Structure 1
Amino acid sequence: MTENTEQQTPAESENSLGEIIEKLQADRWTWSNFYRRPKFWIAAIMVVLAFLLGRELVRHQQESISSTELGRSLELVSTETRWVNKEVTPYRVKIVPSVTFTVHNKGNRSIGNLKFVGIFMFADSGEQMSDGVTPLMPGAVEPGETTDKITINALYGYSATSKAAFLHNKDKWKPIKVRILAQTSAGFAPLGVVPVRQVIEGIEGDINEEEAGEMDERMQKALKLGESLQVLDAESRWEDKVVTRNQAVIVPVIRFRLKNTGDAPLHNLILKGVFEFEEDGRQLTVGEAEALTEPLGPGKVSDEIALKGEFGYSASSKAAFVHNRADWKPVKVRVLARSRQSGDALLGIFPISREIEGVKVKYRSSGG
């Protein structure tokens, strides 16, 4: 029997082995270059991001709570309503309805990303008067937990010449109620409707007509006092409160004289300076002084009066204040006066200069 076998010569075997090695090297070069291509890495990153996004969506769906479950889980524990100050000046008072409450989580799931909305409505017609909303709560409300007190103030309300004027017209007030809702990313859930009491901040309990009349009379006297006084020669600067080797504390001061422009003598007044930041009206400090211990007749001008703030700025030295003048926030002062029989009368609002006691250089309030 003849066998058809082919035997490779040593030269042919060597050539075949070389081809295999060359092919492997070529494949290695191809994959190596493939990994170096930007498209490969972009595709890989997209796959990873898609995986992470999908996992996050699944987790969010598992953790999110529906508006129906939200309403079943939260209940109002306590509520308190009244009218609070929004703006109070010697000439006008604005008050808005307010509700303060606590909420209990009676469900079995933690509730996060939570805030509350108050819809203030006229009780008889249901027409919306105003609304208010709380900031997002900083943490979750755990099962069985009761929140701290939460307050919602309406954006709009009523205005009058004084709080006493509200009380005089109390019978004409339209009853107000507030609907409280909880809100998450899933939507809103109503928690309840509460009537707003006709109680005004700063006037505790019921007040009779006689007391309301006295309050109104004090306000009218304040208006007359304000019309009878004129501020003259107002100057302001920052003066030393504490100066040591390592610290300097300066406070705002305004100095002025008063002219009696009325038709009756004035005496025994209390003057108050309310120092505030110009940009947002936040109070920096307050200063008070007694004035006109001797009667000031009509047309007469008083001696110099100084109102000095209790608090101010602190630095390592006075030179540090000058070096950091660009960081100073402009300050203004509201000058108020009152007598023993009147409320506060606004005499004027004045800017506080950037002059510092003992420093000759002056800087304009614009920061230039």
Structure 2
Amino acid sequence: RLASKFFKNTGIYLERCIDDARHIEVQMFGDGHGHVITLGERDCSLQRRNQKIVEETPAPNLTDDVRSRLHDAALRLGTLAKYRSAGTIEFVYDRTNQEFYFLEVNCRLQVEHPITEAIFDIDLVEWMVSLAAGHPAKALYNVPTSRGAAIEVRLCSEEPVHDFRPSSGTLHEVLFPSNVRVDTWITNGTEVSPYYDSLLAKVIVHGNNRKEAIERMQRALEHTRLIGISTNLDFLRHVIGSSFVTSGNLSTKVLTDYFKYRPNAIEILKPGTYTTIQDYPGRVKFWDVGVPPSGPMDSYAFRLANRLVGNTEDAAGLECTLDGPFLYFHTSNTIAITGATMNATLNNTPVD
């Protein structure tokens, strides 16, 4: 009745609900004349709001039979369609019953294509351009052998502390390790607008096996610095280091239902009066160009506080000169209060 009322068509169809599925896709490439090859499969199950966060190849914890059937299904579809250029056939995989179901064909180059390039040592963009120019890559007719494992993570301008809402502003420091592939558009001083996609960079690593690839990604993220706006960098560090990733126990519900993350963040509930961020010795030796010295008013107390918590003496801190801030700490922290006598509370309890 409802179908007839709203759509003038009483036909209905039913879809199987796969409650705790994996998202697996097969990379294919065709010459447009019926010759199609597959180039491995990628697991894209780690998602938030149906957006991929981490991708890897080959997909872990698949039987040889399932892997073979996935590739065969992709090959048959691509061949029947006489598919031309790069494309991805995506599947929903029921890991309980070890069955997969067709999801869609993406007739384009996927964001996560670099991990396929890494294990096959190819350039898919070059293949696409060569084919369009009438000179298909020789490897299209002599399928290369894959080697090792590769992982990609997506660095985004998001605020994990506020349910991953988009963040914007100026990136004052951008630093990536030199020994991994990074596809990005940002650099020191980049202004990140709130009006476009939040993707800042893709970090891609390759290893001789999955364990090595995970370890390389952990090191790569530890040596990545993005200063100036909120990002999901710390979130990614925790995801890659989680037991879900190391065990390969992946599904589209992991990040939303199972994985527990507390942002390593401090929220400023009230800023306080004349509360500033300082470091020692501050800005000095610029009098010759008219810039006066800056830095903490009480540099001794400032350095003492850093020493008490185990920081270097030039680490940044808060200096309160009239009225201090109200801060909310999302994780455990060690705090040192030095200098003049003041009233401080922790969870509304006075601190002696």
TM over 0.5: no
**Whose radius of gyration is greater, 1 or 2?**
1
Q: TM-score range by the shorter chain?
A: under 0.3
Please, what TM-score do these two structures have when normalized by structure 1?
0.23
